[in-house]
A and B are shown apart, each in its own frame.
Chain A
């Protein structure tokens, strides 16, 4: 089983829509969780960390469910500029700092 799994999409939504992505992880010892955004042919950039209590940054909300071993990203009021690939990443307690990435979920927001 892969360390981190994501639905690759693509997700195609109209502007203003709400869209949610899930990411499951296999190792219950995973300690830290992140969402990255990657534009076409560019490097990934940190979107937000995911905390146990859930966290929000503007239109973006991240949640962690340790019991079911998944993290989620909710984007409200989608903008055209949200079109990108969203990667989830987790660490495992045995190797500090090393991140395991999902394959990414592609999002296209259309006008």
Chain B
């Protein structure tokens, strides 16, 4: 079955360490996105990529980095520069950029930094 796989489901890190969250999709979608969700704050866009080898900052990109070397993969690195990294991270994708293309989400990675 096609879908988006995020791993791991839960991740624990010490403050000061970089950590990379994995996101893989086999939906043949062109565009991929990373959102962060905090309680009561909804989804905020971190980075997105509409084509391989290209990506753009979202609303809260500071302290994060991404790469898009393959169409299927869009890993997110949470660096030590991110002040409040503990959150629920959601990866999503949609088809060839169009006006009526809903997002499909992975099942998320819950990151806790202490």
Given known A97-B50, A98-B45, A103-B41, contact A42–B108 (CB-CB < 8 A): yes
Per-residue interface assignment for chain B, residues 29 to 48, with 1 indicating a CB less than 8 Å from any chain A CB and 0 otherwise: 00101010000111101001
**Chain A interface, DSSP helix/strand/loop, else mixed:** strand
Interface size on B, residues (CB 8 A): 27
Contact between B107 and A44 (Cβ–Cβ < 8 Å)? no
- Determine if A99 and B99 form an interchain contact, defined as CB atoms under 8 angstroms apart: no
Chain A residue nearest to B100 in the complex (CB): A32
* CB proximity of A21 to chain B, nearest CB, Å: 14
CA distance A26 to B45 in the complex (A): 17
Residues of A in contact with B, size category? 20 to 34
Is A46 in contact with B102, judged by CB distance below 8 angstroms?
A: yes
A44-B90 CB under 8 A given contacts A32-B100, A97-B97, A98-B33: yes
Residues of chain A at the chain B interface (Cβ within 8 Å)? 8, 31-32, 34, 41-46, 49, 87, 89, 91, 93, 96-99, 101-104
